[in-house]
Amino acid sequence: MVKLFALIRRRDGMTAEAFRSHWRDVHGPLIRDRPELARHVVRYEQHPRHRDDALSGTDGVDGVAVQWFRSIDEFVAFISEPAYGDLVAPDERRFIDVDSIEFLITDEPDVLIDRVIDGSVEGSVGGSSSPRRSSRRRRAPVG
């Protein structure tokens, strides 16, 4: 499994509210509702900025997109789909400052703290938004 983390900023002149609305209600469904795109993605998360102050991170950063793929080849297949070039990429330019996107693709994480409360992942909503857990997680050495 690989994960894409993309740090995104809204286009100049766009309000934070308009950015969030477009990202959630227009852009996300472009990927989710197109089978030729969605088939490559294991999980797609949108993390909008919590609030508009320094405690929520670097000034000007409006959110983080996280997309899970079975492999780097699935990611390449995703961005190679004609629907990506025809629909997704042009839509990104409607609400994202695409020149400022920063991204990183990672492997499985090295888990250092993994608290489970009452049988569910702390902070999950209804259990449906938490990632599947494997009994083969990497654990930090004790000490």
Say whether 139 sits in a helix, a strand or coil.
strand
- The whole-number average pLDDT for the span 72-96 is 98
- The whole-number average pLDDT for the span 37-65 is 93
Task: Report whether pLDDT(52) > 70.
Answer: yes
Task: Report whether pLDDT(120) > 90.
Answer: no
* Alpha helices per DSSP H over the chain: 16-22, 28-32, 35-38, 72-80, 82-83, 89-95
**Cβ neighbour number for residue 92 with a 10 Å cutoff:** 19
Q: How far apart are CA 49 and CA 5, in angstroms?
A: 14
Say whether 71 sits in a helix, a strand or coil.
coil
Confidence class of residue 116 from pLDDT cuts 50, 70 and 90?
A: confident
- Mean pLDDT rounded to a whole number for the chain: 87
Could you tell me which residue, 118 or 135, shows the higher pLDDT?
118
pLDDT per residue over 9-23, tens digit each?
A: 999 999 999 999 999
Give pLDDT, residue 27. 98
- The whole-number average pLDDT for the span 65-81 is 98
Q: How far apart are CA 86 and CA 9, in angstroms?
A: 22
Q: How far apart are CA 75 and CA 35, in angstroms?
A: 15
For residues 43 and 140, the answer to whether their CB atoms sit within 8 Å is no
Give pLDDT, residue 128. 42
